[in-house]
Structure 1
């Protein structure tokens, strides 16, 4: 088995490993992004549920306040079915409902923001999978290009896998100018 065969085997093996690694990494990133999206969707639902619960607490507090106002008016001998007590009760009810609606609206806004973030995470998952596939393709195409360069060198007689005949060696460092050009300067 010649050096060319070993080199081609290594080239093919490294490109396959690179492709598998890219696909695996893209898949892992996609899985993480999808998990993050599920978490964000759960948080959005929790925000909405919390807002509805808060609104119900505000409504109960409003009804309690109305009952306390009615009982105070009744204890003082004021008729609770007409005039100021009715307007006060209506205002308490209106304020409670406004606060409840605001709580629901705020929860919905927080939930919508989390929904947008979840959609962005899902898009990131798609992008990660595409990026992994793109990296795999790049690895394979790079290996094919390297093989083509090697094959062209074989046809032209100068293989990039062979040691250059211009290399003089002689203890000269390859990193030195003298070692690279093969003669003393």
Structure 2
């Protein structure tokens, strides 16, 4: 079995990987995401994923055969990259701008083979359609705290799922890790997807 190391603190990513038969070791990268700015949203997601992967892959306490996965997600709305809101007021403004509209959730993926040093990276993009929620619904949702913890101020697999009316693309990508894309990266590095199953 090849060991997958997830360079992310996201419980949703870990849950998604576990449901797919993988049991990743979580090592938080500690990367300062504010060091990158003024990039197109898809490129920002990819470069942040690459930074997180590189930071964890540089550690000397990883299994020698580990595959290190860095991921990062941003929501693109009106050409702007939206990460996690910094406070409830920002989350409220975001939802007022997003309601009744569509955005594109970009998740950058970077996979490094610790044994060979080879890297494969790509961005998955999924269009997300948002419900025309009321101010009262926005206030109630923001009060749960969930929008403050996630890129784009929403989840599809949590409380916010009722406010997503549809998607075009990979559902898992919206959660934060595209399983089909990750499988392609694993194969690109010369491994078999079933080899990662726990």
* Bigger proportion of residues as helix: 1
> TM-score with structure 1 length normalisation?
0.20
Larger radius of gyration: 1
> TM-score with structure 2 length normalisation?
0.19
* Bigger proportion of residues as strand: 2
Specify which structure has the bigger relative contact order, considering alpha-carbon pairs within 8 angstroms and separated by 6 or more residues: 1
